[in-house]
Structure 1
Amino acid sequence: MLASVAPTAACIDLKPVAHSVDNTVAVLEDSLTRLGQESEDWRSVLTDTAAKLTEDTQTTVRTEVTQLLQRGAQAAGVQARCGIDFLAARMGDGLRRILDRVLGRDQTPRQPKLCDASPALIELALPADRRTSVQYSGWDLDTDPVIEAQLTGPAGSTPVPASALARVSAYLLVLNTGQNGIGPMLGSGAAKVELRWQGMTLSEVPIVQPPPPECPPPKLERLLTQTTELAPSNELSPNSDEDFFGNGPTMDLHITVRTVESRRVEADVRVTARETHPDGRPEGDGTAFDGEVKKVLLYEAPPNHEILDPLTAEMKVPYYYAEPDYRPYTKPVGGAAPVRTITYHGDTFGPGLNRTKVVLEWNTDVKVRIQQTSRCHRTTRS
């Protein structure tokens, strides 16, 4: 009785398998060459490729090519939006992955490719119902990890909620830009929407912020400060008896009003006093005081506004004051001067430095013309 002997590896003829692999590689490489030359006929190229893979050992490869062909046929909209060359290139990527598997090489992982975003930009000036979504067309948009979206602007990047980016198919993504999507986030100064995958930027859609509203017409505002008190402070004469008793001081009031940086109206004011005889001669003991310059803020424009017409004035008002009962004297200035009245307090019995002073009542009827200049659009200078 003869015992049966199992065949060993040495008994198997591997030549048909090797031939099948070589034939498969040749068919795939030929198809890749044809795709580069005949991108418009990618369907015919893949159909011919599947038809040439007839051997039993090529069944798996033939199935993969057929599935790739079906995937391309399902992406008719992609061809319309992206062009034939884009779709043919994706067929080539698929064939290369099949070829890498046949040859035992590391397969290039599927990477999403985007070719079109519609609309190409998000215009926030449009009504909300006309900018509800952005549709992205491409290939392999169903890869893992998933594609992510973010808003990018001067302040940095903000992730978009995953629920706002819908993966409709392997060829179509839809970003919800409506009020129940990222609509409320778009007016925060964002400059663009980015789609990113594995650290790579796939798409950038600009966000066009709406133009600012038209600036309101200019308006008039009154000076804010009502009164300012001044007093001479620095004694100039070493022989002074420190009062103006019996004679009285001649007071010189210096006022300079200017507009600063189209934002503020400021005044520099100073008063000097010297003892003077009623006939105008300087008094012998020469009591004299010189005041320091005092800065007064008369007006400051609100934020985002500027002063249109600069307000300037230069005044020097000399006045001799002698009053036996020491009562203050108020002198009207009148007209459009920035000061309405000047009240003098002087000619008191020692020490005059503590009692001599001038009180300015600013003319709040003087108006400043201002206009909003930022966060609005001004066509002409009013």
Structure 2
Amino acid sequence: MMKTIVSFSHLFQTGIGIPRLLLWLMVFIPILIAGCSIGDKIDKLTDKVSDVAGDTVATLDNAIDALDRNSASWQSVLQDTTTKLTDEAQSTVRNEVSDLLNRSVAATGNELRCNVDFIGTRVRQALARIRARLLHQSIPPVEPALCHVVPAAVDMALDSSRRNKLEFFGYDFDTTPIKVTLHNKSGVLDVSSELDRLTHYHMTLNLGANGVPVSSASDRLTLEWQNRPISSIAVIQPATPVCREKTETYERNTYLSFTPPHTRGDKEFSGHGPEVWANARWNNEGTHVNFRLWMKAQETRSDWTTAEGERTDVYYTPPPGWRIDSIANSPESTAHYIDTDHNDDRQGGGPNGPVKEFKFRGDRSGDDAGSYTGVDVTFNPLVVKLVEVANCAPASAIKSLQIKDLIAPSTIKRLQPMMMKLKP
């Protein structure tokens, strides 16, 4: 607020009489009062904007926390979040969350689309991006994700009318360019122009006479994002073999330490808990397995001192020439407890998930959040099923073609002996 200072003694000294002094007072006092009023209103408006922004971030944080505990509950979490964003100033974020709900519901419409756990993970990522944008933080790129390809491979022994398109079901197909390449014996051809995005979760690739020129020289089709393959579809020729498969166990004997950042209140729990949650997850990205660790520690009374955050690391990469088909373990480990002392607290993660043991650091004397409170995790062995990456047809794709009657009897007869040799 601007201040106006008038020296009344100066007015008397310069010969201004009482009437003129009263006139000065009549002019300046309302200005001074109005100035204070305007300043107060601005301060109150600023406080309200700050409160609304804080409430919005808190609502998004609560939604993200809920998904960290149970990703399958994404639909109820989004509905609840929308109802809590009631202020007019929250309308933009409310609309974003509502759009996210509609997109996610659409992506689960039938058996060819994505399962609820996958959608929950994507919803959480989207909420984190909304939160980052609101806080003017860096926003990670949106990576498209594939759930199903139909047919899973292209059998050239079929009549061309029965193999005239590929359908892709997934998520976030409309947010970033996707490249499609045809791999022939003579080279690689960019055929992205034949890709049609019907919705954000459904794409088709034209393999007809006026589409991708698949021929007897073709080996496979590949979808790429930012120069990284996200899917490979075999073109089955008369000599195409079944891809080899193997199971690999990866053990990591080191521990991983994480100290989440301070996000709320002062930095001292002062013996009030904290209440602690943690979620650890292995995510199969095909070319590697990511390990994501999230932790939250919150004081059990006002001012609700909180440390919360996550880290994601590349945990496992398969040998060259192989891709990860699936993870045999349970993909998730969780922990939850209330700290009652200054000692480290150990929580078992179970024998089959990513984490063998969580070792938490909660409260101590002095500052906690952002500098001390955290967790060390040790790991269970990771068991993965690997599939060869070559000019071959994966067994899972062949089985899918059989179920959908999209493979010629002659092809099945030729491939069946090779399928029998694979380990179940």
TM-score (norm 1): 0.50
Q: Report deviation, 1:108.
A: 2.0
1:11-30 → structure 2 map (5 Å cutoff): 12-13=43-44, 14-30=46-62
CA–CA distance in structure 1, aligned partners of residues 146 and 140 of structure 2: 18
1:148 equivalenced with 2:179 (yes/no): yes
SS of equivalent residue, structure 1 residue 49: helix
CA–CA distance in structure 2, aligned partners of residues 39 and 71 of structure 1: 16
1:180 equivalenced with 2:210 (yes/no): yes
Within the candidate set 189, 195, 198, 2:217 is matched to 189
Q: What is residue 131 of structure 1 aligned with on the other side?
A: 163
CA–CA distance in structure 1, aligned partners of residues 63 and 235 of structure 2: 42
**2:188 counterpart letter in structure 1:** S
CA–CA distance in structure 2, aligned partners of residues 157 and 106 of structure 1: 35
CA–CA distance in structure 2, aligned partners of residues 75 and 65 of structure 1: 15
Runs of 4 or more, structure 1, over 4 Å off, are 3-6, 8-11
CA deviation digits over 1:52-101, x for unaligned, max 9? 12233322211211111122122233775221111112211210111001
CA–CA distance in structure 2, aligned partners of residues 79 and 28 of structure 1: 30
**2:69 counterpart letter in structure 1:** Q
Q: Report deviation, 1:8.
A: 4.3
Distance 1:37 1:78, change over 3 A: farther
On the 8 A contact 1:79/1:87 being kept in 2, the answer is: no
CA–CA distance in structure 2, aligned partners of residues 64 and 161 of structure 1: 30
Q: What is residue 99 of structure 1 aligned with on the other side?
A: 131
Q: What is residue 257 of structure 2 aligned with on the other side?
A: none
CA–CA distance in structure 1, aligned partners of residues 166 and 93 of structure 2: 37
1:1-382 → structure 2 map (5 Å cutoff): 1-2=26-27, 4=31, 5=34, 7-8=38-39, 12-13=43-44, 14-77=46-109, 80-144=112-176, 146-160=177-191, 162=193, 164-182=194-212, 185-211=213-239
Q: Identity of paired residues, percent? A: 34
Give unpaired runs (5+ residues) of structure 1.
213-376, 378-382
On the 8 A contact 1:152/1:193 being kept in 2, the answer is: yes
Q: Report deviation, 1:188.
A: 4.4
On the 8 A contact 2:178/2:192 being kept in 1, the answer is: no
Larger CA Rg, structure 1 vs 2:
1
Q: Report deviation, 1:10.
A: 9.3
More helix per residue: 1 or 2?
2
Give unpaired runs (5+ residues) of structure 2.
1-25, 241-413, 415-424
CA–CA distance in structure 2, aligned partners of residues 161 and 71 of structure 1: 24
Distance 1:196 1:85, change over 3 A: same
What RMSD in Å do the two structures reach over aligned CA positions? 2.5
**1:100 counterpart letter in structure 2:** A
CA–CA distance in structure 1, aligned partners of residues 117 and 238 of structure 2: 37
SS of equivalent residue, structure 1 residue 136: strand
Q: Report deviation, 1:197.
A: 2.4
On the 8 A contact 2:100/2:123 being kept in 1, the answer is: yes
**1:203 counterpart letter in structure 2:** S
CA–CA distance in structure 1, aligned partners of residues 209 and 112 of structure 2: 30
CA–CA distance in structure 2, aligned partners of residues 61 and 193 of structure 1: 39
CA–CA distance in structure 1, aligned partners of residues 61 and 88 of structure 2: 20
SS of equivalent residue, structure 2 residue 120: helix
Aligned residue pairs, count: 209
Distance 1:49 1:75, change over 3 A: same
**2:49 counterpart letter in structure 1:** V
CA–CA distance in structure 1, aligned partners of residues 110 and 134 of structure 2: 29
On the 8 A contact 1:78/1:137 being kept in 2, the answer is: no
SS of equivalent residue, structure 1 residue 204: strand
CA deviation digits over 1:293-317, x for unaligned, max 9? xxxxxxxxxxxxxxxxxxxxxxxxx
CA deviation digits over 1:294-353, x for unaligned, max 9? xxxxxxxxxxxxxxxxxxxxxxxxxxxxxxxxxxxxxxxxxxxxxxxxxxxxxxxxxxxx
Distance 1:194 1:80, change over 3 A: closer
**2:225 counterpart letter in structure 1:** W
CA deviation digits over 1:132-182, x for unaligned, max 9? 1110111111124x31211124433111150x2111111111011122212
- Which piece of structure 1 moves more, 10-19 or 167-176? 10-19
SS of equivalent residue, structure 2 residue 92: helix
Q: Report deviation, 1:130.
A: 1.3
Distance 1:134 1:9, change over 3 A: farther
Q: Report deviation, 1:211.
A: 4.8
On the 8 A contact 1:78/1:87 being kept in 2, the answer is: no
- Which piece of structure 1 moves more, 82-91 or 149-158? 149-158
